[in-house]
Every structure is written in C-alpha cells, then in structure tokens.
Structure 1
C-alpha cells in the first residue's frame, strides 16, 4: 500500500489545544487535509504569540487535533513590535531550517507569511530538498509596521530587511494563496505571475459559529429596546476604536437606546477605556472571550463595525467572516479599496471615512432608524458568509491546489 501524501504546515501564531487566543486558519486547513487523506505535520512555535507566554509542552494537550503537532523552541518577546520579537524570529528561522534538515520527507510544504525571515528559511529548505512550496499571505510586512513607525528615510532603512526577506521568500514559491485579492497579488510585485495564485478568505466555519451562538444565547442578556453596536477583535493602534466610542457617544444623544459592545483586548485598551470615561459613551469592554461565546454576542447585536485607521494595511481581516455570519449590517471604516468596493457591490453595509466621529455617528443613527434596511443588509451578509467565507467549502480550493502541485511533482 502506498503511503499517504505527507504535508508540512508552518504557522507561527496558531491556536492549539484548549487555548482561547490564536489564529485558526491553518489548523482548520490541517484538519481538512487529514480528512481528505493526507498526513499532516503542523509545525509551530513553543511560544504562544497571542498570550506572550511559553507553552508548557510537557503537559500540552494536542489530543483534540487529527494532525501531528511539532513544536519548535522560540525565545519569548513582550510585545508585537519590539527588538526581542525580531531576535525570536531570527532564532526560529535557524531552528526551522534544522528541523527540515533532519526531516524533509514531505510531498509539500505550506507556510504562513509573516514572519518573513522564517518563511524565507522554510522556502530555502523546500528548494534544497525539491519540495513544492506554497506561501500563504496572511499579512504584509513591513507595510503593517508603518502604522506605528512611519518616519521618512528612517523607516525605509529600518524596514529594508523585512522587504528583502519578503521578496526572496516570494521568489521561492511554487504557488501563492492570499487572504484577499490584494494579498494574493503582493508576491507578484517582485516576480512574474508564473505560478498558481489563489484567493481564499480567512473565513470561518458557519456550522461552528451557529452552534456556538445557540449554545451561549442564554448567557447574553439584552434588555428589551436596546440597540447594540458591536466590535470584535484586537484593541491595537490599527483599529480606530476611540473614534467609534466618540461616535456612539454622539449618536446616543439622539438614540439613548444605543449601547456599544467591544469584544476583545489588546495594548490600546487603556486608551479606549479613557475615551469611554471622557465621552460618557454607553460602552462596555467585555475583553477576550471564547469564540463560541463571541458568536452569541455578535448575533445578539444589531450593527457590527469593522473599525480601522486610515493607513491600516488589512484588506479582508479575519473578523469579517464572523461579522457576515452574524447576519447583521456592517459599518466599514477600512480605506482598503478592495474591501470598500466589496461593501458597496455586495450591499451588506456602509463605508465611512475613518477618524470622522460625526460622520460615523450619522451613519449609526441612520441604521438605528432604518430597521428594514438593517434586515436587508443582514440577509445579504449571511448569504455572502455561506457563499464565500464558509471554510468547509472555500478551503477545498486550497486542497485542490495542493493535490495538483503534488501530482505535478510526481510526474
């Protein structure tokens, strides 16, 4: 009997075991590949990026996963942007190289980017051993860093290594998967479009979302007559939550039934707390919560907000799948042309210019007053979630791509 095709997936920031925080795109793909007849080794860091702590590998429970988990030791770092993180990824790049030198009996390697230097190391290993290499573009470095540090000349010098690493990693790819059109196109800025390219939104599992919402509906108490505006996700410099707080404070003067629910946490929480205190906005910061509980809060809300600063590099963020699944109209402040066009074309929400609290307040008021319009946008959102963001269906395209690359190699 011939062996199953063997796949290696590398992701630096996955949620594993019983962890609450972390990315699930790559663990979902790994599970799907196992179900489709592949053997999968999931290679990741021993450091939990989202919680900024080392995992206890001696007691870590990976039994809930159908794939094999391979931890690689990585030094700790205290923040998303700090010298220690750069060093930690440098160490990880060397150690992942050593991993593939010791075990390179793979039919394909699938790798998340960023971190750029780790992806470059994985790509070089793939080329060294003649293994097809797929790059999954989940974020853009150094573009994302310029939000926090955009100083003429200095930023160009500081970020040049990240730019160089990305260019070299993309040059090694045999195929590209992106979480948006923009991200999928990024590798071809520096190389000919001579390899397969696929757009697969991060998305979610609609069945899990709905089950979680039903399971936790009793824990969400919503007083009759209240209208909830909800944000779910990280509280960082990329997300314009202070403007959202200010807008709700303004809108609540005309609509005292308004409430803002912020589901998440992050380094800018103190600033958002300060904005709530300063404006007197009817807002509640609920912190991180398990995914299935978050689903119940989103479905209980009336409006969801994709709140980003003007120069944020995200195009179709992870949370969009959950927002659409909630069946609620979306207010979008992202200036990404791809996503703004999608909001208008598909009709599930309204675009607003970021940083404009008065303008955002006017849109919130219009949606509060237009229950029929909210219902129409919500129906469109839910239909789009099923058609384009439901992972059990949309990720099959990635499985097909992997099969085709392995078949091509076998020839």
Structure 2
C-alpha cells in the first residue's frame, strides 16, 4: 500500500485516511528503526485506536475493526473535501464499507483493492465466533464487489472467485505486490566460506506452515555448515520460539520484526529461502509477498505449497516446490545439492530475479495503476482518497 500511495501521489492529489502504525504490535513503531517519514506529496490523516490486544484473539481484532470503522466514518462525515475517486483496501471488509459511504457522499468512483479473500480466509480459523462472522460477512462482501466501480487484486488466483460474484462483464485488474527499482538493482553478496543460511522472513500466522522448515533444521542440526534464520511476527511467534527451545535447535535463530529495508539486506546475504503455506484450500489462491521479495533478492526458493504460489515458483523456475512434508527425503537431497553447488543456487536465484524484474516491478505496475485510476467517467479533477489500516 505504501507503493500504491507513493506512485499515485506523483500524478494525483492524494489524501490518505488511516490509523497510526500498529501491526504487528504498536510498540515496535516507537523504536528508531521503524520510525519513518510521511509519504511524499500526500496528505495523511490518522486516527488513534485504543484496542491493543488484537494480535492473537480474533474477537479483539474484530473489535479493532469496529473501532476503526466508527472513527473513519466520522472522518467522512466531517470532511468537506472533494474527491473524484475513493481507493480502499481489503481485508477487513470494514474499510470498503467506509468506501461505499464515501462514494455516495462525494459522488466519486470506488476502487476496491483486494489483498486477501476475506471472509473466505476465516474458513481456516476454527471457532463458533469466526463461523458466525464469516456467514454474516458474505452478503457484505457481495455488496462491496457489486458496488465497486473497479476491482484490483494482487493475486490472479482471486479473479475467478470475484468473477463468480460480479459476473464476467466486470473487469478485475491484476496489480501484484512489487519491488522498487532500488531493490531490484541491489546485488547479492558473493558467497562466503561461512555457513549456508536458509531464511524465512514473514508472518507466523494461520496461513503459514513452518513444519518442514523446523524439520530441516532438525535434520541438519549437527551440520555446522548450515544456519537457519527466521525473521517473523504474528500469532504463532511464541509457539515457534517454544518449539525451537524444546527441540534444542541451536542452529535456528529467531528474530523479531525488522524494518523492510533491513530484512531485504538480510535476504541479499542469505543463500536459500523458505516459504510454506497451510494446505487448507482457501490458501490455494494466494501468493505471499515473501515469494516476490525472495525472487527480487535472487534467492533460490524451497516452497511447501500448492495452487497459485506453486504455479508462480515453477513458472519462474525459481526453486523446488513440494506438496507436503511427505516429500521430505527428496527435499533433504535437494538441500544437500544446493549446499555443495553455489552455481546451482545462483541459477535458481537468477531465474527468480529475472521473473521479478519482468512481472513484479513497480516501474511497470505503476503504469497499470495510473491507467486504472485515470479511467474515470466525466471527472475533471484528479483527487484521490485512500483509506486503509496502516501496517
């Protein structure tokens, strides 16, 4: 969303309504590494939230959504500005609901940017409360998609699902998560004689599966040539930490969240990247942002996944993909090959890098984004209002 905001603000007057940074925890944004300047060429209006216990318990997260919904609705009610287009991001559905209100008040077009199929994702979360919320949310989701003037997705895997709601005549635009020119131009560090680093960087939540990653660490526990690194956050962070301690996996280093720039530098220094998705059908349509970052950093990828993310890794020839941990013996053999062959690691990594330059490049995607926003009906000015929850 920062990329969307920065690219739009170059040619449009952008006002952003959002919260103060709070994900995964509010406290980390007090640290100097996480403090960032506001976006260039954009007005940013932030709301304060009181709910602090939203990371682990869905009920408290739902309360946060309601709090943000109420406070941003007050923004819309009090704001007398003029906007030609409202750009909202989902999940959660509360933000596009605000977009529907703003669309009517400002007589503007509404763009809905779908970054996850919510409430479909709730199928992976057990519990009566989430089941109730999911079924109540389906009619809201349908209303939002039907009332949106334009729909953007960051995964082509979402398109069929949305088309079943809106029909074939309504175009759904694909604008994937992307890498900046600066990121794509950065070179990997030359291989050293030190330990090979296998890295995982990203969320430790419901969708992610680190079972195979920790099994690899256990298998290579006595091999001093291999170091395992996790940079993560999310509801399962503590569980992962406990499992590392219980298994006495001293070859695994677990780090708390770090700023994106710092994480990308770690990717450039690593040797092999890992991504794993839960086998629940709802995750078949997603492509985790970490896959794109891995490719941009030129890392060969170990993927334990299926569906759209598997398709992308295989199309790019950026690594090896397994359906599940049943193929572990083959994975162990591949890791041993990669350890002994810097040339092979480079080949897979360079394949992924080339694919990222062609398909996940902000220099290309910004043109697509600008075309989508510029295709307004009978609009004369160029004001855009973006609403989102800050991350």
Residues 137-152 of structure 1 mapped to structure 2, 5 A cutoff = 137-149=114-126
* Deviation sequence 1:175-226 (CA, Å, 0-9, x none): 1110111224433222223333211111221414656x78xx7xx9x97242
The equivalent residue for 2:164 is: 189
Distance verdict in 2 for CA 1:209–1:232, change over 3 Å: farther
The equivalent residue for 2:94 is: 117
The equivalent residue for 1:100 is: 76
TM-score normalised by structure 1 residue count: 0.81
Residues 36-115 of structure 1 mapped to structure 2, 5 A cutoff = 36=11, 38-46=12-20, 48-52=22-26, 62-63=37-38, 65-80=40-55, 81-101=57-77, 102-115=79-92
The equivalent residue for 1:22 is: none
For CA contacts below 8 A with separation 6 or more, give which structure has more relative contact order: 2
Judge conservation of contact 2:116–2:286 (CA < 8 Å) in 1: no
The equivalent residue for 2:358 is: 387
The equivalent residue for 2:274 is: 305
The equivalent residue for 1:5 is: none
* Deviation sequence 1:37-56 (CA, Å, 0-9, x none): x1100110136232246989
**Correspondence for 1:269 among 237, 249, 255:** 237
State the shift of 1:285 in Å.
Answer: 1.1
CA distance in 1, matches of 2:217, 2:333: 10
Deviation >6 Å, runs of 4+: none
State the shift of 1:162 in Å.
Answer: 2.2
**Correspondence for 1:351 among 299, 316, 321:** 321
State the shift of 1:117 in Å.
Answer: 2.3
CA distance in 2, matches of 1:246, 1:272: 12
CA distance in 2, matches of 1:52, 1:160: 30
State the shift of 1:349 in Å.
Answer: 1.2
Judge conservation of contact 1:241–1:307 (CA < 8 Å) in 2: yes
State the shift of 1:116 in Å.
Answer: 0.4
CA distance in 2, matches of 1:118, 1:341: 31
Distance verdict in 2 for CA 1:92–1:144, change over 3 Å: same
* Deviation sequence 1:265-290 (CA, Å, 0-9, x none): 33322322233234343111122222
State the shift of 1:343 in Å.
Answer: 1.8
State the shift of 1:66 in Å.
Answer: 2.3
CA distance in 1, matches of 2:269, 2:374: 41
The equivalent residue for 2:141 is: 166
Residues 150-299 of structure 1 mapped to structure 2, 5 A cutoff = 156-208=131-183, 210=185, 224-252=193-221, 255-281=223-249, 282-299=251-268
Distance verdict in 2 for CA 1:201–1:138, change over 3 Å: same
Q: Quote the RMSD (CA, aligned, Å).
A: 2.9
Distance verdict in 2 for CA 1:345–1:321, change over 3 Å: closer
**Correspondence for 1:328 among 293, 296, 299:** 299
Structure 1: gaps of 5 or more residues: 1-25
Distance verdict in 2 for CA 1:55–1:273, change over 3 Å: closer
